[in-house]
């Protein structure tokens, strides 16, 4: 965790990402890939999501989707909508993290 040099911490985010890239083959030899994502925050809230064939999504596409979601987030009128958008952004971030690790 980064320690501030000086000043007051306004917001701190503590998240735990568990990302598994799984490739399975069935009896006919067809391959299926899946990215299994589990994101947990300090309060115990958990987001679970699976992305089938994650290689079909590029990093640039993921970043464009995050940008679009951030615009929606700015104009969201309800807490439920804000939470749903935050979760979707975290899922796209997990996809990007999976690409660099």
Mean pLDDT over each residue of the chain, to the nearest integer: 91
What is the structure's pLDDT at 46? 96
> Interior CA angle at 51 toward 41 and 29, to 5°?
140
What is the structure's pLDDT at 66? 97
- Its pTM stands at 0.83
Q: What domains does the chain contain, in order, with CATH numbers? A: 15-100 (3.10.450)
pLDDT in tens, 3-43: 656 788 888 888 999 999 999 998 888 999 999 999 998 88
What is the structure's pLDDT at 11? 83
């Amino acid at each position: 965790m980064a320690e501030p040099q000086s000043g007051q911490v306004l917001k701190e985010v503590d998240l735990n990402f568990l990302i598994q890239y799984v490739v399975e083959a069935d009896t006919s030899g067809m391959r299926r890939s899946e990215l299994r994502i589990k994101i947990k925050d300090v309060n115990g809230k958990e987001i679970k999501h699976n992305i089938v064939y994650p290689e079909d999504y590029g990093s640039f596409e993921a970043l464009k989707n995050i940008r679009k979601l951030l615009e929606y987030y700015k104009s969201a009128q309800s807490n439920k909508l804000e939470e749903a958008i935050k979760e979707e952004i975290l899922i796209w971030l997990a996809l990007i993290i999976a690409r660099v690790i």
